[in-house]
Structure 1
Amino acid sequence: MMKAHDFVLALLAFALFAMLAFLPMFSHAGSLQVHTWQGGAKAAHTIAHDDYCSASTTGIEQYALPILNARGLKASLGLIAGSCTDAQWQTLKERVAQGHELFNHTLTHLGMLEPGSLAPISGWDNVREIVSAQQLVHSKLGYTMHFVAFPSDLATPQAKAFVEAQAEILGARAAKHIYDGKAAGLNDANQLQPYFVKWDGYWRDGKWSLYKPARGNMLIQHVDAALADGSWSYRTLHGVADSSWEAAPVDQYTAYADYLAAKVKTGELWVAGPSDIIRYQVTRTQCPLKLDGNTIKASTSNPLCSRYGTALTVDVRLDAGQEGTFIQQGKALPTQMLDASTARLAINPLLGDVKIQ
């Protein structure tokens, strides 16, 4: 007859054997990386066309959007909302469905400042130009704009503070250097200022641009600057081959779109509207993810996290080459295995912790 202590030892041995046999069924996470840009891209870029609904920017619809759509690229359209016709509202419904972003370029495109000063012109009204534009677009399209670009990129400190106080507006284009300092350039992912997004405006002769035609296609130069720096470049344009201010030639614009599409295809570049890029960067910095054993934990206590929160591109290195299953809110997240032990997935911190099985 087996003695009691022998029975206990046998039971413990069986339990240990069962545990060791069971462990390989689970993947153990070794490390976690949250990528600076969506999809693991090296840099980000925005294509922004101002003055949509102006009579002068017909080339946006005639040339720019067909060129971009053919290449799977998304633009951002700055609406002069009070100028949009019924036909343009219908077209904008299609553009929203295609994934293009709309941003607030005010109701009437009224210049805000007296020349060379911070004094507002007598006709400027923040509520009319900003809030009424928001309301009109929502009433026509059921769409909420989250980004503002002031006419001529000039704004009083009061107007900027007003925009920042609007809960639905997540960012704004940098006003010029009259009082803000340098507004042109690249946006560092780790020092992003959502209401001071730097940009470069297209000028055919390069007069007020960071880039010059003697060095090649100025549109492409702004893309390359971001790729070299690992940052976000925002390209301000008006129309293409039309009567708008500094309209871009079709051949330059087509070459630019071809270049963007090629960089997107290789995974080097993320092309998106300003709201998507701002959301990503604020989430990355204000909703930190960390690996704790087999759980990816999300910290969401910062109010900016709940306001801006979106999905982040995350790579998880698994121990022992095991392929993991990632569970969030009881559902398995789509996962791409980059190699035998590295999984890539999108995690929205607002949806809670992720269990690795």
Structure 2
Amino acid sequence: MRLKRCVFVAGTLLLSTQASAALCTQAWVEGAAYPAGTAISYASHNYTAISDIAGQSPPAASLWKDQGECSGKIDLPEWDIGRVYTVGKQVIYQGYIYQAKWYTQGENPEQSGQWDVWKNLGLPKPSVAFVQSSSWKNGAKAAYSMLHDDLCAWITDGQIDYAAPALKQRGLVAAFGMITGTCGDKHWAAAKQFLADGNEIYSHTRNHIDARSKDWDATGQINGSSDDIAAHLAGYRPSFFAWPSDVAADAPLAYLRTASGYIGGRAPNRIAENGGVIYDGHTGVINPAQLADPYQVRWDLYTDQGQWSAYEEQVKAGGDLLNLHVDAAINQGGWATRTLHGVNDGSWMSVPLAQYNIHLDYIKAKADAGLLWVAGPSSVIKYTYARDFCKATLSTTHVSTVSFDTSTPECKKYATPISLQLYALSANGKLSARQKGKALNLIAGPANSYFVNVDPLAGAVTLSAQ
């Protein structure tokens, strides 16, 4: 599946730019009469009438005062003598913005003094210079997912006894891959708690059958495992898939791409013409911010000595395999996924508890520093595609707005909250943001910017200076 994507600029999707010029007020109309003090725009400049004017156009220096360059337009309604306005409503009159202090009808804003119903807010000015989408949530430099394979293999119960509690203690999440045909009651109970704690459950097939085996049954192993999970976990269905032994031929991979509910999978090693395995599933290791294929998610495998890892030589030199992968993601601005099995148990290449805890403390520190976003693989996939397909546009008015194009099927399929980075116009400008009438939390960022998480399907976001 090849998807048409938006173009990135310096690692982020540029949505709109706006110079620091004021917004253009009402356009000059030939033949209209303008009392002294009226604000209009003409040829991308704002002007104020020096005296009463009838017919003369700017830039006649004796009649019009040039207020400088302007851009954009005002989206507020013109004042209507017959309309009712309640407290807080804003209108345009003679090029200026007025706000009602209380209920009013028929009272001319220009004739409203300091103690009257209308407050003159002056000429409109944009609050935001430009907006760009953040490559990763909350402006993090990289994303990271830990995938624990073989839940329900019984020898991996360290995932239940050690991994999950350690994650919860630190407020972190991971993903757990279930072999659904071997799950006992304890595993289903644990999976329910994993989900309640914010972790992800993914499919690792029903019986852990090699996809190149003669016994492979795509319907049973891919769809069947999803049905098992839904039956035991209150309708929850996995959206990510991991191949047993990380091997798959072309036909099983093609089947997964069309299987209901799945949006991605771990990249499998390929099958050669002679039936042998070409171990290239994790080639490249770090996934770029623009994910090329969600069913070919690159990964690195945990082993005790770094065997088969891209970091093997660094591990031999004393580096920590788990932390090296995170560092690479941050340096490259990409997404790292780590394949593990059990923790402090009898599973294959079980992670020692001490090393696991040290790693969790390491990524917790990176996350707290704003460098790393730790999430399940499906959350990351949804974010990357929602970021690109739910195209956002900045419209600059007195209250700037960001709207989203939700018409594409990809936007609807992957829609999830995304992070926008807002750049305030004033050097010390503070912003507020609202969506569907609800105030949104803004996180201070670098260079007079803020990050805000928004739902593209929830409507436009209004931005204003505080």
CA contact (8 A) 1:326 1:333 kept: yes
Q: Which secondary structure state, in structure 1, belongs to the residue aligned with residue 146 of structure 2? A: strand
* Higher relative contact order, chain-length normalized (CA < 8 Å, sep 6+): 1
SS at match of 2:97: helix
> Structure 1 residues 331 and 122 mapped into 2: Cα distance closer, same or farther (>3 Å)?
same
Residues 6-25 of structure 1 aligned to structure 2 (within 5 Å): 9=35, 12=38, 16=94, 19=97, 21-23=120-122
Q: Given residue 248 of structure 1, which amino acid in structure 2 is its aligned partner?
A: V
Q: Which amino acid aligns with 1:145?
A: P
Distance in 2, matches of 1:207 and 1:16, equals 74
Q: Please tell me whether the aligned partners of residues 132 and 421 of structure 2 are also in contact (alpha carbons under 8 angstroms).
A: yes
Q: Which runs of 5 or more residues in structure 1 are unaligned?
A: 1-6, 114-120
Distance 2:162 2:216 in 1: 33
CA distance in 1 between partners of 2:425 and 2:302 (Å): 49
Which structure 2 residues correspond to residues 198-209 of structure 1 after superposition, within 5 A? 198-209=298-309
Q: Distance in 1 between matches of 2:344 and 2:178?
A: 19
Provide the C-alpha distance between the structure 2 equivalents of 1:325 and 1:269, rounded to a whole number of angstroms.
Answer: 25
Once the two structures are superposed, residues 45-86 of structure 1 have per-residue CA deviations (whole angstroms, 9 ceiling, x without a partner) of 111100001121122122222222221111100000111111
* Percent identical: 35
Corresponding letter in the other structure for 1:329: K
Give, in angstroms, the shift of residue 10 of structure 1. 5.8
Counterpart of 2:414 in structure 1 is 308
Residues of 2 paired with 1:198 and 1:339: CA distance? 31
User: Is the aligned partner of 1:225 residue 2:323?
Assistant: no
Deviates more, 1:175-184 or 1:276-285: 175-184
1:11–1:217 CA distance, 2 compared to 1 (3 A): closer
Give the secondary-structure state (helix, strand or coil) at the position aligned to 1:317.
strand
**What's the counterpart of residue 332 of structure 1?**
439
Is the 1:27–1:322 Cα contact (8 Å) retained in structure 2?
A: no
1:123 to 215, 230, 239: 215
User: 1:146-199: CA deviations, max 9, x gaps?
Assistant: 100010111121111111112311100000143688321110012432100000
Give the helix-richer structure, 1 or 2: 1
1:80 equivalent in structure 2: 179
Contact kept, 8 Å, 1:107 with 1:129, in 2: the verdict is yes
Instruction: Tell me the SS of whatever aligns to 1:297.
Output: strand
Q: 1:286 aligns with which of 389, 397, 404?
A: 389
- Check whether the contact 1:323–1:340 (CA below 8 A) recurs between aligned residues: no
Q: Structure 2: which 5+ runs fail to align? A: 1-32, 39-48, 53-92, 99-119, 273-277
2:401 aligned partner: 295
- What CA deviation, in whole Å up to 9, does each residue of 1:226-280 have, x standing for no partner? 1111111100000122221111222221211111111111111111100000000
- 2:217 is equivalent to residue 138 of structure 1: no
Give the structure 2 partner of residue 192 of structure 1.
Answer: 292
1:343 matched to 2:434: no
C-alpha distance in structure 2 between counterparts of 1:122 and 1:331, whole Å = 56
Give 1:58's aligned amino acid.
D
Kept after mapping to 2: 8 A contact 1:239/1:245: yes
Larger Rg: 2
In structure 2, the partner of 1:151 is 244
User: Counterparts of 2:320 and 2:162 in 1: how far apart (Å)?
Assistant: 18
CA distance in 1, matches of 2:34, 2:146: 71
Conserved? CA contact 1:68–1:74, under 8 Å? yes
Question: What is the identity, as a one-letter code, of the residue corresponding to 2:404?
Answer: A
Aligned partners of 1:242 and 1:18: how far apart in 2?
A: 71
Alignment TM-score, normalising by the size of structure 2: 0.69
2:137 is aligned to 38
Number of aligned residue pairs: give it.
344
Per the alignment, do residues 157 and 22 of structure 1 end up closer, same or farther by CA in structure 2, a change over 3 Å counting? Answer: same
TM-score for the superposition, normalised by structure 1: 0.89
Q: How has the CA–CA distance of structure 1 residues 327 and 71 changed in structure 2, closer, same or farther, with 3 Å as cutoff?
A: closer
Is residue 2:269 matched to residue 1:167?
A: no
1:18-60 residue CA offsets vs partner (Å, 9 max, x unmatched): 5383147975221102110001111111111000011211221
1:8 and 1:104 mapped to 2: Cα distance? Answer: 70
| Distance in 1, Cα, partners of 2:266 & 2:122 | 52
